[in-house]
Structure 1
Amino acid sequence: MGTDAKAALEAIQFPCASCGGTMLFDADSQQLKCQYCGRLQAIDADHALPREHALDDGKPEEADTDWGVAQQTIKCQSCGGESLIPALQTATLCPFCGSPKVLPQPAAATVKPESLIPFQVDKEDAAAAFRSWKKKRWFLPGAFKRENTSARLAGIYIPYWTYDADTSSAYTAERGDYHYRTVTRTRTVNGKTETYTEQERYTVWHRVSGDYDRFFNDVLIPASGQYDAKLLDRLGNFDLGGLLGYKPDYLSGYIAERYSVNRTQGWEEARERIDDALRADIRAEIGGDEVRSLNVDTGYFNRTFKHLLLPVWNASYSYKSKPYRFMVNGQTGLVSGNAPRSAWKIAFFVLACLAVVGAIVLWYTSTQQSPQ
């Protein structure tokens, strides 16, 4: 056997025991499936709870770089996205933006995730979810809704960090409570001056302070730099109860993105989200009708993190020569995307809203001028 032929065989990480064909992970059966004879092979899933790593231990990034399969890194020269594909596989298109300008990169140690959620939505179901999503958008051009959008779906495992932390906060603020008093006023109606009374609102302010403790579990932060953060957020929350221990079998037939946000950078974003949640919680605890001059001093303790992969179908497409992107949650089928807008539909909606407002103003004016 020649060297090239032997290397090609070694690149097939999961050969079928029946025919020797390539076995890929099948979302429907949650097993490996032969692409030639259809044979299924069960995966010995690891259901153990993912391990939490201390963020405060001062140790460097995790050193386990053994993904269980030979990998190569490719980088897109258009969008800069880096992903991992099986060794000896030839990449022709970027899985992020669809550009053909992809080049192999020098070998580099890439930290292995410890857990993942396998794909549970296959390519056909992801495409169907996008078609259904299009039909429900109000302001999309009718032609775009009707046409069969041509988009290359790529199944990608996107890297994420999750963070846990105990928090203890001390706060000060001013609480405002609304009160009402009856005031007498005058107005002119049909040339006549009349007196009337109405309720006037005023605010009484009080200084408040206190302590607030809360534990945060699994604050989920994308470790990818290739996506609009809002686009990822709109994919919805993944059910992390479906996490399984990492096995290379789940990656067969899919692409894994190499993280570009390290765990320290990820924590900074997680802390911002935690701080926002704490301020909202504390405002609710203070109560009242308004809160101003809120100052919160928070300590973070017992911080831990996990590195994991989550499944997403990614696609780029064009409409009238303009690029757009959509993604489908590979666990739930929820769609998040950018789409063209119909200018005339938006204009009609705005005019309709203005007409309704105008009608309300006209009605209110006529009632105010009616004889008493």
Structure 2
Amino acid sequence: METIQSYKCPCCGDALTFLGEKLHCESCGNDFALEDMQHLNEAEGKANSASKYDWEHYEPRSYEDNSEIDLANYNCPSCGAEITGDDTLGSTVCPYCGQSTIVKGQFEGTLRPDYIIPFKIDKKAALAYFEQDAKKAPFLPDAFKNKKKIEEMAGVYVPFWMFDCDCNASISYDAQRITRWSDSNYDYSKTDYYTLFRSGRVGFTNIPVDGSKKADDAYMEAVEPYNYEDAVEFSGVYLAGYLADKYDVSAQESIDRANERVTNSTISLFSSTTAGYDIVMPKNSSVNFSNGKIRYSLLPVWMLNIKYMDKMYSFAINGQTGKVVGEYPIDNGKKWSYFAKTAAIIYGAAAAIAWFLLH
């Protein structure tokens, strides 16, 4: 026996009955063409289907010593960070906690990245970017501008997992278009309701996911974007003068975040095609990945930690673009002094206006 296909009214949700050449809703009185309802059901079925993710299994490669540069392992006794760096680096402050001098040890090997984006901004330029950004911070304490602390900024290659994939997506939306008009007696408003469907294929390359537990994910994502055209095959020579963190979040552990970033980017991209409506709300979405590839990379970040009033303030600066990310402290004395001066000026101006009006 064939399965009987039933349809629900897209306006009120009640069951539709076939009447003449149309599907009719007894509840709200709307009529719909059978062909339109078939297309609607098909689109809703795609948008309601489960998302599928297909990522390849990443096989890590061991680092091979090609005598490119003498490396050493560095350990922070405070936060436990394990970092690789140039053997010639002197005493330095941990880029993650900023509280201890990291201890140099014998190089024990690490996993070899697939590629690296070399530092394009040296320390002098990174300091200039930070100082310029700090000028925009309101009521910045003078003690926070300590040159000695600022110059403890360290260049770190942060580990990232890079994800590429092809994406097929189907997304449905509830939308509204509101029309308003008036006459001499009343204001009117009419709301038209729509169901929108978007489907298509989009490719993603170099979706980054932070591979370090010690690096703040919010900071590492905020410091993006990078220009991946500057990426080159990894060579140890790029580590000269810098530190390189070892990943402690595996590729497999990063997949959930990659799925979230790709899905959110796809929904955002499709939403940009729904212009012309006053309100658009995503309803259902199905996002399927294929040809998923994973690579291991090192991206350049200047890191700075400054302690002020028993709180550590951390900053990250994109080592390629100079973009600064971080939270600045506020000097409450400066803030209240500013407001007091502003209030005095306003009060004085008001008093002058009042005197002028009375005389």
TM-score, length-scaled by structure 2: 0.68
Pairwise CA distance, 1:71 = 4.5
State the Cα distance separating 1:146 from its structure 2 match.
6.0
What is the Cα-based RMSD across aligned positions, in Å? 3.4
Q: 1:302 to 1:349 in 2, by over 3 A?
A: farther
Displacement after TM superposition at 1:56 (Å):
3.5
Query: 2:354 maps to which residue?
Result: none
For residues 235 and 89 of structure 1, do their structure 2 counterparts lie closer, same or farther at Cα, with a shift above 3 Å needed? closer
* Number of aligned residue pairs: 287
| 2:240 alignment partner, one of 236, 252, 271 | 252
Structure 1 CA distance for aligned equivalents of residues 282 and 302 of structure 2? 44
Q: Distance in 1 between matches of 2:126 and 2:88?
A: 28
> Which residue does 2:37 correspond to in 1?
none
Cα deviations by residue, 1:307-350 (Å, 9 ceiling, x for unpaired): 11122221222234432222322222232223211335656679
- 1:171-220 Cα offsets, whole Å, 9 max, x none, are 2232211122547xxxxxxxxxxxx6453434221223342221112112
Asked if 1:131 is matched to 2:134, the reply is no
Matched, 1:209 2:197: yes
**CA–CA separation in structure 2 for the residues paired with 1:302 and 1:256:** 30
Which position in structure 2 is the counterpart of 1:235?
Answer: 223
Gaps of 5+ in 2: 1-53, 347-359
Match of 2:120 in 1: 120
The one-letter code sitting in structure 1 at the alignment partner of 2:201 is D
Counterpart of 2:255, as a letter, is W
The equivalent of 2:172 in structure 1 is 172
1:161 corresponds in structure 2 to 161
| Distance across 1 between alignment mates of 2:230 and 2:282 | 42
Superposition pairs of residues 37-116 of structure 1, within 5 angstroms = 56-58=55-57, 60-66=58-64, 68=66, 71-86=71-86, 93-100=93-100, 102=102, 110-116=110-116
Aligned AA for 2:208? L
- Whether the aligned pair in 2 keeps the contact of 1:134 and 1:145 (CA below 8 Å) is no
Give the counterpart of 2:324 among 330, 335, 338: 335
CA offsets 1:50-95 (integer angstroms, 9 cap, x no match): xxxxx7444x532333254564544434323221135697866423
AA in 2 matched with 1:64: S
Q: Decide whether the 8 Å contact of 2:165 with 2:292 is kept in 1.
A: yes
Q: Give 1:119 shift.
A: 1.8
Partner SS for 1:171: strand
SS at match of 2:219: helix
Partner deviation per Cα, 1:17-68 (whole Å, 9 max, x = no partner):
xxxxxxxxxxxxxxxxxxxxxxxxxxxxxxxxxxxxxx7444x532333254
1:341-352 alignment, distance < 5 Å:
341-343=330-332
Please give the residue correspondences for 1:256-275 in structure 2 after superposition, counting only pairs within 5 Å: 256-275=244-263
Aligned residue type for 1:63: R
Q: Deviation at 1:352?
A: 7.6
What is the Cα deviation at residue 115 of structure 1?
1.5
Q: TM-score, normalised by structure 1?
A: 0.66
Q: After TM superposition, give the deviation of residue 272 of structure 1 in Å.
A: 0.9
Distance verdict in 2 for CA 1:201–1:212, change over 3 Å = farther
SS of alignment partner, residue 149 of structure 2: coil
Q: Is the 8 A contact 2:86 2:239 kept in 1?
A: no
Query: Residues 115, 323 of structure 1: CA spacing in aligned structure 2 closer, same or farther, 3 A cutoff?
Result: same
Distance 2:80 2:169 in 1: 40
How many Å apart are 1:149 and its aligned residue? 5.4
Cα distance, 1:259 vs structure 2: 1.0
Deviation at 1:258, TM superposition (A): 0.3
Whichever residue aligns with residue 210 of structure 2, its letter is P
In 1, the alpha carbon distance for the partners of 2:123 and 2:134 equals: 17
- Name the stretch that deviates more: 64-73 or 75-84: 64-73
Following the alignment from structure 2 to structure 1, what is the Cα–Cα distance between the partners of residues 284 and 335?
42
Contact 1:167 1:299 in 2 (8 A): yes
User: Does the 8 A contact of 1:76 with 1:99 survive in 2?
Assistant: no
Equivalent position amino acid for 2:234 in 1: Y
Contact 1:81 1:226 in 2 (8 A): yes
Residue matched to 2:149: 150
Once the two structures are TM-superposed, the CA of residue 236 in structure 1 deviates from its matched residue by: 3.6
- The match for 2:27 is none
**How many Å separate the matches in 2 of 1:147 and 1:253?**
24
What amino acid does structure 1 have at the position aligned with 2:303?
N
Point out the more displaced range, 286-295 or 165-174. 286-295
Looking at structure 1, the residues matched to 103 and 143 of structure 2 have their Cα atoms a distance apart, in angstroms, of 34
* 2:299 maps to 1:300: no
Compared with structure 1, are the counterparts of its residues 65 and 349 closer, same or farther at alpha carbon in structure 2 (3 Å cutoff)? farther
Tell me the amino acid that sits aligned with residue 265 of structure 1. Answer: E
SS in 1 for 2:273: helix
Deviation of 1:242 (Å):
0.9
Identity across matched positions, percent: 24
Q: Is the 8 A contact 2:86 2:241 kept in 1?
A: no
Partner SS, residue 150 of structure 1: helix
Distance 1:65 1:139 in 2: 48
Indicate conservation of the 8 Å contact 1:160/1:222, yes or no. Answer: yes
| Mapped contact 2:170–2:199 kept (Cα < 8 A) | yes
226-235 or 266-275, larger mean C-alpha shift: 226-235
